[in-house]
């Protein structure tokens, strides 16, 4: 259902084409469908280029969206690509209205850039210069027009040909060009010379304009829908769906996880704060934010097939570094949803889409899948008590084993460990934490590591050969920012240098220990650098709260050698695109990336596809006993099964 709200009354267009004529007027603007030169990524300008086959289909789709609104007047420029688009829309509508060509609605004159390939120009002159030529309001391309000049001619033409029609309640469609329509936005006061420079108009996406109140909204064939669900800790989360408005078919969906121990630089998590609703944890506000996005989010098939564009749209609409306007949980659920939608539209598995779209993976996707990090003892905020300070004790298998062999190993060791814990500490020792690891009455890392090694050996595997050990210390949780001391064990306080030595002793005594995550407070950079300097050649030094998957922090950390491994969590930064950007920075230096779950998970297993798609060596997914964690194990097995069949 499309709502035309720009009048004293509301006009609604329904998918069954019923039109309620209680309105004054409707003004729709539309950039032409894709041209042959758009497809080749060339500056077209004033060259008269016709629509591509894809552009003709885009025009048909636009006509379908607008079918319920019969236009009294249709305007185009004098260039073929707008005339063809307008004619197709009129034909879809069975509308015999004459199309009026207005030469001043033509595209911007790109001067010397005309017919040049944008990618090649970017390689020659740099992205910043090409962006200035394309988008600057006042700076012109060489021997071409700037947008200020285009605004003058388009504004004059609008006042002469369209203004009176709109003011007398006529339904008007303007089919023009990206820059002439951007100029119209400035003329009407909807955008200004600054904001227009970052405003993009996609091909053949209808935009409804309210010239009186200076508002606009996109009219899409698809819509975003959201509702509240719960995560694995019983706290609310939100699920976002992309829905075909006509058929009500769901094209894709995604939800967002939530962490217990979080870095201070993670993007904002939008919750309602009403103590009478889920102890303040409800997300109905975030659900409403998704509804708001429908007005200003382009949901054409072309855009939905490009996850980077979808993520960039959200980032631009939110406009804040910490995603405080719409919420990082909103953006994460949306990004997962649009990833699922894109893969479905392209008829690909999600990992295949990510491989093709982002181009991070340098090897063919084969049967050498990411090795899971499996949480088997929980402490800290993930445990039953916080007396065991280190948050996670994990195991991971040697990389040359198949996924099936690795998961067999994990399950056998997990159950062996459970029996050992019950035998030594009693039945209560088999209670499990947020991520499925056991929560025994153990109070030191030494004791936990020793019993894990015993479980490995009793399961007939070799410690340090078949199976290795990893820690997630979550040290920010036991660091006192005033005294600068760490409570590494109950009532045992150490400073940064002493903590480096503490970990060094564990590494020496337990050589199978090959990964330590968040060993220090997120801003104790000198300790990080000291530890990395001493031990980077012996194990993975993993930054979680340290980096929060933020490309800016990752860049700084790589330059200053804080750590040698990134823990990637999409909801820390809020979009898959930004997370993969950070991952690529790390992988380009030859270092490792571990794609990770959160303590509050949902049953979606998209992190597995991300790990496979970017070629990450490891994926952190918890233990093999809770449904939301098991979903990730089983997705890995599903991918392995498919790949084995492909290569059979």
Give me the chain's average pLDDT, please.
Answer: 93
- Is the separation of the CB atoms in 597 and 607 below 8 Å? yes
Residues 380 and 289 in one domain: no
The set of residues, in sequence order, having a beta carbon less than 8 Å from that of 141 and lying 6+ positions away, is 43, 110, 111, 112, 113, 133, 134
**Confidence label for 4 from pLDDT (cuts 50, 70 and 90):** very low
> Residue 593 falls within a domain, yes or no?
no
**pLDDT tops 60 at residue 385:** yes
**pLDDT tops 50 at residue 165:** yes
**pLDDT tops 60 at residue 9:** no
Number of compact structural domains in the chain: 3
Domain that holds residue 233: 222-347
Residues 295 and 332 in one domain: yes
Of 181, 202, 218, the domain-final residue: 218
Residues 382 and 438 in one domain: yes
Residue 263, pLDDT score: 84
**Confidence label for 25 from pLDDT (cuts 50, 70 and 90):** low
CATH of the domain at 251: 3.30.390.10
> Residue 588 falls within a domain, yes or no?
no
Among 1-5, 304-308, 384-388, name the one with the lowest average pLDDT. Answer: 1-5
Residues 261 and 146 in one domain: no
Closest residue by Cα to residue 561 from 589, 532, 523, 539: 532
CATH of the domain at 538: 3.20.20.120
Residues 196 and 258 in one domain: no
Residue 183, pLDDT score: 98
Residue 12, pLDDT score: 41
The label of the residue with tokens 């073929």 reads: 80
- Is the separation of the CB atoms in 595 and 616 below 8 Å? yes
Residues 182 and 153 in one domain: yes
Residues 210 and 262 in one domain: no
If you count them, how many residues does the chain have? 648
Of 195, 218, 241, the domain-final residue: 218
- Span 370-374, average pLDDT: 98
**Confidence label for 646 from pLDDT (cuts 50, 70 and 90):** confident
- Span 48-69, average pLDDT: 95
Which residues are identified as catalytic? 435, 569
Task: Classify strands 371-378 and 392-397 as parallel, antiparallel or unpaired.
Answer: antiparallel
The set of residues, in sequence order, having a beta carbon less than 8 Å from that of 563 and lying 6+ positions away, is 528, 532, 541, 542, 543, 546, 547, 557
> Residue 587 falls within a domain, yes or no?
no
- Span 171-193, average pLDDT: 98
The set of residues, in sequence order, having a beta carbon less than 8 Å from that of 393 and lying 6+ positions away, is 375, 376, 377, 378, 379, 437, 445, 448, 449, 452, 469, 470, 471
**pTM score, whole prediction:** 0.92
Give the integer Cα–Cα distance in Å for 181 and 201.
8
Closest residue by Cα to residue 371 from 620, 590, 592, 541: 620
229-252 tens-digit pLDDT: 999 999 999 999 999 999 999 999
Residues 372 and 508 in one domain: yes
Residues 420 and 307 in one domain: no
CATH of the domain at 57: 3.40.50.1240
**Confidence label for 367 from pLDDT (cuts 50, 70 and 90):** low
Give the integer Cα–Cα distance in Å for 19 and 176.
26
Residue 531: which H helix or E strand, with range?
helix 525-535
Closest residue by Cα to residue 438 from 623, 595, 289: 623
The label of the residue with tokens 């996109």 reads: 218
474-491 tens-digit pLDDT: 999 999 999 999 999 999
Residues 159 and 232 in one domain: no
CA distance readout (Å), 470 to 113, 561, 574? 55, 20, 26
> Residue 58 falls within a domain, yes or no?
yes
Residues 263 and 379 in one domain: no
> Residue 589 falls within a domain, yes or no?
no
Of 191, 218, 245, the domain-final residue: 218
Residues 287 and 400 in one domain: no
């Amino acid at each position: 259902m499309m709502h035309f709200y720009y009048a004293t009354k509301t006009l609604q267009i329904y998918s069954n084409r019923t039109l309620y004529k209680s309105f004054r007027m409707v003004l729709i603007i539309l950039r032409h469908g894709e041209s042959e030169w758009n497809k080749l990524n060339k500056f077209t300008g004033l060259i008269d280029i016709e629509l591509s086959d894809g552009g003709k289909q885009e025009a048909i789709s636009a006509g379908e969206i607008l079918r319920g609104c019969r236009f009294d007047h249709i305007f185009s420029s004098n260039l073929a690509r707008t005339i063809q688009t307008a004619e197709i829309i009129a034909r879809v509508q069975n509308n015999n209205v004459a199309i009026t060509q207005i030469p001043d609605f033509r595209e911007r004159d790109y001067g010397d850039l005309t017919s040049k390939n944008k990618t090649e120009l970017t390689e020659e002159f740099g992205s910043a210069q090409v962006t200035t030529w394309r988008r600057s309001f006042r700076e012109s391309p060489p021997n071409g027009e700037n947008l200020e000049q285009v605004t003058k001619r388009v504004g004059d033409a609008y006042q002469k040909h369209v203004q009176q029609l709109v003011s007398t309640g006529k339904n008007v469609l303007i089919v023009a060009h990206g820059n002439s329509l951007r100029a119209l936005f400035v003329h009407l006061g909807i955008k200004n010379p600054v904001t227009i420079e970052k405003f993009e108009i996609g091909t053949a996406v209808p935009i409804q304009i309210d010239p009186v109140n200076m508002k606009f909204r996109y009219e899409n064939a698809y819509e975003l829908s959201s509702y509240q669900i719960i995560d694995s800790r019983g706290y609310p989360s939100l699920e976002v769906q992309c829905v075909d408005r006509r058929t009500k078919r769901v094209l894709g969906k995604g939800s967002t996880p939530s962490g217990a121990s979080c870095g201070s630089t993670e993007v904002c998590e939008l919750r309602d704060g009403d103590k009478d609703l889920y102890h303040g944890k409800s997300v109905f506000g975030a659900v409403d934010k998704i509804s708001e996005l429908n007005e200003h989010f382009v949901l054409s098939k072309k855009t939905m097939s490009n996850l980077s564009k979808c993520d960039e749209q959200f980032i631009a609409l939110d406009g804040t570094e910490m995603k405080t306007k719409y919420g990082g949980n909103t953006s994460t659920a949306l990004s997962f949803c649009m990833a699922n939608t894109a893969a479905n539209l392209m008829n690909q598995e999600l990992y295949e889409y990510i491989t093709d779209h982002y181009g991070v993976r340098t090897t063919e996707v084969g049967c050498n899948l990411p090795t899971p990090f499996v949480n088997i003892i929980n402490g800290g905020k993930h445990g039953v008590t916080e007396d065991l300070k280190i948050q996670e004790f994990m195991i991971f298998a040697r990389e040359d084993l198949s996924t099936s062999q690795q998961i067999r190993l994990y399950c056998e060791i997990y159950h062996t460990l459970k029996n050992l814990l019950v035998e030594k500490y009693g039945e209560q020792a088999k209670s499990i934490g947020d991520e499925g690891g056991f929560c025994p009455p153990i109070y030191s890392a030494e004791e936990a590591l020793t019993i894990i090694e015993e479980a490995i050996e009793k399961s007939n595997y070799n410690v340090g050969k078949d199976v290795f050990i990893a820690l997630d210390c979550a040290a920010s949780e036991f660091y006192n920012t005033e005294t600068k001391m760490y409570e590494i064990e109950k009532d045992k306080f150490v400073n940064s240098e002493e903590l480096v030595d503490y970990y060094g002793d564990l590494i020496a005594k337990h050589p199978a220990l090959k990964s330590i995550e968040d060993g220090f407070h997120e801003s104790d950079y000198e300790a990080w650098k000291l530890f990395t300097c001493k031990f980077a050649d012996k194990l993975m030094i993993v930054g979680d709260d340290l980096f929060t998957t933020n490309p800016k922090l990752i860049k700084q950390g790589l330059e200053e050698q804080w750590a040698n491994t990134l823990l990637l969590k999409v909801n820390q930064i809020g979009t898959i695109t930004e997370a993969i950007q950070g991952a690529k920075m790390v992988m380009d230096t030859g270092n490792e990336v571990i794609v990770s779950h959160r303590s509050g998970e949902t049953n979606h297993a998209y992190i597995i596809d991300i790990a496979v798609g970017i070629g990450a060596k490891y994926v952190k997914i918890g233990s093999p006993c809770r449904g939301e964690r098991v979903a990730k194990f089983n997705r890995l097995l599903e991918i392995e099964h498919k790949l084995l069949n492909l290569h059979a």
